[in-house]
Amino acid sequence: MPLPIPLPIRVTRRLAMLLLAVAAAAPAHAREEPAKEGVSVGKTSAFTKLVPAEQVEKGAAQQYRQMMQQAAQQNALAGPDHPQVQRLRAIAKKILPFAAQWNPRAAQWQWEVNLIGSKQINAFCMPGGKIAFYSGILDGLKLTDDEVAMVMGHEIAHALREHARERMGKSAATNIGANVISSVLGLGNTGNAVLGASANLLTLKFSRDDETEADSVGLELAARAGYDPRAGITLWRKMQQASKGAPPQWFSTHPASDTRVKDIERQLPQVLPLYQRASGKSS
């Protein structure tokens, strides 16, 4: 029996049930991606439609800006002349032209790439194209450019496939309280649920399917940019080696296993030709 839904604001029962029906009836991925050369990941999630993209990206930009300000105050934000910053931005410059093929909104994003001085083995790309690497992942794992491109492609893929927005949409669909309905449907000035979720974007946990999808899309992005996708295998071997002590943050939130390496190996026939064409190298 369905639970009663308290609605302090004036939202009709029919409207609330319509929102529930959309969330319940929609499969995990609801929009077919066009057939193309490279990897295939099926459809994007219908749950993303329950949360405005503009609001998620605005929240991400605010959080990213605060993080960079805090890093600067702690003298941990690397300047534009830092060799590793220049390296990261050069790699991003080669990858980003292919981003809009996966998400048209990416063409209008104000992309940023920064480096934070920290021993953390971590990196992320927030909605709207806000990228940050921690020096620990570069120095601790001694990443090659190809391996950096694998990390960056993976994180960019999370943003392009709007996995954070999807998780927020699922939360909105399963917590049909007054604030959630009003924020999703634009009814009244009580959109705190979405804004609250966007304030915790870095703590959102992606599903195993999200991680597999980000691996696949990231491999293709890097390959099209001329980076060897086989570096995905060496990257995860390094991550496994690093996890013999306390598991690094990036490893713990992106679970690696022999199955994951095998998944990457299975994708290589689709992405190696893209790399060979972009780099002019043969396998």
- Residues known to be catalytic: 155
Element containing residue 93 per DSSP (H, E):
helix 83-95
Query: What are residue 114's DSSP bridge partners?
Result: 132
Give me the DSSP letters along 202-252. Answer: GGPPPPHHHHHHHHHHHHHHHHHTT--TTHHHHHHHHHHHHTTSSPPHHHH
Q: Rounded to whole angstroms, how far apart are CA atoms 123 and 133?
A: 4
CA 245 from centroid of its chain's CA atoms: 26
Element containing residue 112 per DSSP (H, E):
strand 112-116
Q: Rounded to whole angstroms, how far apart are CA atoms 240 and 225?
A: 26
Tokens, residue 151: 């990390």
Residue in the block written with tokens 């969330």: 23
Q: Rounded to whole angstroms, how far apart are CA atoms 194 and 121?
A: 29
Tokens, residue 140: 């601790």
- The CA dihedral of 249, 254, 257, 258, to the nearest 10 degrees, is -120
